[in-house]
Structure 1
Amino acid sequence: MTARRLRLGLALSALLLLSACATRPPVPAADARAVDRETRLNRWAEHRQALDAWAQFQLEGRVAASGQALSARLRWVQRADRQFDLWLSGPIGIGAVRLSGTPDRVEIRARRETWTSTEPEADLTALLGWSPPLTALPYWARGLPEPGVAVRFHLDAAGRITQLEQAGWTMTVVGYGDTTPALPTRIEWQRDAQTVTLISDRWQRTP
């Protein structure tokens, strides 16, 4: 082989190599999504651990059901062992309502009467026309799923829940605040034709 032919062969080989590099297909989008999903799940694990420290809290805000033009004021104290106190006041049509107890057994004070209910969600629906899911709400309000119940959820890039489906409900986090950890400022939960909105104006962690 002459020197001229050798140089020509090397040049052609280099051109073919450059062409192969230039036309190499990009990383499939599915691989990019898989990496992104793993990152979100890692961030979710860290965020969830931080939210677990807020198991006891005080919350002041507003709540309204679909079809209600005005919102009721809400004050909520969540304690250990599922104990809570919840006050509703304002334009709910029956004056102030206070709930005290656990999701399974609640003392209800409304219309100048006091009684103990073992079916508080049914009683609240009769009173207000709607009821929060009392077992799930302490978790949903913080942007967490209720433990031990099947759930499907979506995460944002920061690893925070944006929507979940659980126990026949769809819960959407409309916005998060600038707290550390980030806590929802507005959530909506929906089942059938009922939608209830909770706006959180002030969070406080309690020991």
Structure 2
Amino acid sequence: MIRQAAFATLLTTALAGCTTIQLEPLPDGMTNQPPADWAQRSQSLSRFNQWQLSGKLAVKQPSDSGTAVINQWRQQGERYDLSLSSSFLGMGTTRLKGVPGFIELTLANGDTYRSSEPESLVAAATGWNLPIDNLTWWIRGLPAPDGDFRLLFDETNHLAILKQNGWEIRYDRWQGFVDDLPPLPARITALKDDKRVRVVISNWLRED
């Protein structure tokens, strides 16, 4: 919780002019100037750190492609609990639990694996390259605490593109899911080299 609070404060001061990744020229219709309410909006989203969502996940990469149902993704501060169901590579229901820098992955057959390198373990177990630690931030439309980033906004003042840690995250749709909160992402596409991860969210819920 301390890390979340400190990052919220840092985000407020940094977003006004923080662009350490250079993108030139800007895509048509995009601006790197945050809208007037962006600091307030991002603070609200960073404080929204206890939630649950459901939806679908699709991964496309040179070696293979596949889809999964997000049965439930529960976030409690930095701790996540993610349940995926997929027939891809015989995954069945796979559960991912962890915090930044640590993950516990349980396969459908009950085998459980633990690692201090979440992305490597997910890739080894499923074949999918998922930036799991960063996704807990990107899914809300926020940069992760670690790593330089660049934000681009569209003509409607919504965040359109976030670049960080070699990934480009495109915010394809926003929706007002939760009362007293700014719109939340309803569909995002994360791209890195020849990899693509798309998340479509059908529902967000606030958790106490």
TM class, shorter-chain normalised? Answer: 0.7 to 0.9
1:46 to 32, 40, 43: 40
**How far, CA to CA, are the matches of 2:114 and 2:176 in structure 1?**
38
Q: Report the CA distance between 1:69 and its aligned residue.
A: 7.0
TM-score (norm 2): 0.74
Higher strand share: 2
Amino acid at match of 2:85: S
**1:66–1:196 CA contact under 8 A, matched in 2:** yes
Range 112-121 or range 54-63, more displaced: 112-121
Aligned residue-pair number: 170
**SS state at 1:201 partner:** strand
Amino acid at match of 1:151: F
Give the alignment's Cα RMSD to 1 decimal: 2.0
Counterpart for residue 113 of structure 1? 111
Counterpart for residue 6 of structure 2? none
**SS state at 1:163 partner:** strand
Q: Report the CA distance between 1:88 and its aligned residue.
A: 0.8
What pairs up with 1:1-207 in 2 under 5 angstroms?
40-66=34-60, 71-74=67-70, 75-80=72-77, 82-93=78-89, 94-110=91-107, 111-179=109-177, 180-207=181-208
**2:187–2:199 CA contact under 8 A, matched in 1:** yes
Higher helix share: 1
Cα distance change on mapping 1:37 and 1:199 into 2, 3 Å: closer
Range 185-194 or range 102-111, more displaced: 102-111
**SS state at 1:50 partner:** helix
> Whose Rg is larger?
1
Amino acid at match of 2:35: L
Give structure 2 stretches of 5+ with no counterpart: 1-30
Counterpart for residue 14 of structure 1? none
**How far, CA to CA, are the matches of 1:159 and 1:45 in structure 2?**
13
The superposition leaves residues 142-163 of structure 1 with CA deviations (integer Å, 9 ceiling, x where unpaired) of 1111124211110124433110
